[in-house]
Amino acid sequence: MEVKITSDNFESLKNGNLPLVMDLWATWCGPCRMVGPIISELANDYDGKVVVGKCDVEENDEIAMQFGVRTIPTILFFKNGQLVDKFVGAAPKALLDEKIKALL
């Protein structure tokens, strides 16, 4: 199950024992709604291996600003607390799956 990423839990998730995949999105964003179900599937597929979560940029704009996110959806990939990859735009599941496997 995907987690809700907020300003309160972001640092602990980013620096946790598992890699973090964070989808930055907003409710009004059409492409974000297309990626949403894929993120949920990946969260289930990688449960216990990777933390997969969603961060609403309207509620947590400081996270988006910290990483210079100007276009959503943007998916950020963290390992050992460091940003190691990112993808901007709507992505097919196969592409995101490849990027997650690279984290493991």
Q: What is the pLDDT of residues 65-79, one digit of tens each?
A: 999 999 999 999 999
Give the per-residue pLDDT at 22.
98
Residue 82 main-chain phi, psi, to 5 deg: -110, 140
Instruction: Give the mean model confidence (pLDDT) for residues 11-20.
Output: 96
Q: Is 32 a catalytic residue?
A: yes
> Could you tell me which residues come within 8 angstroms of residue 87 by beta carbon, excluding any fewer than 6 positions away?
74, 75, 95, 96, 99
- Alpha helices (H) in the chain, listed in sequence order: 10-14, 30-45, 61-66, 93-103
Question: Active site residue: 5, 13, 20, 29, which one?
Answer: 29
- The answer, yes or no, to whether residue 56 has pLDDT greater than 90, is yes
Tens digits of residue pLDDT in 23-37: 999 999 999 999 999
Q: Is 29 a catalytic residue?
A: yes
The pair of structure tokens assigned to 14 is: 């980013």
Share of the chain above pLDDT 90, in %: 98
Question: Active site residue: 21, 24, 32, 76, which one?
Answer: 32
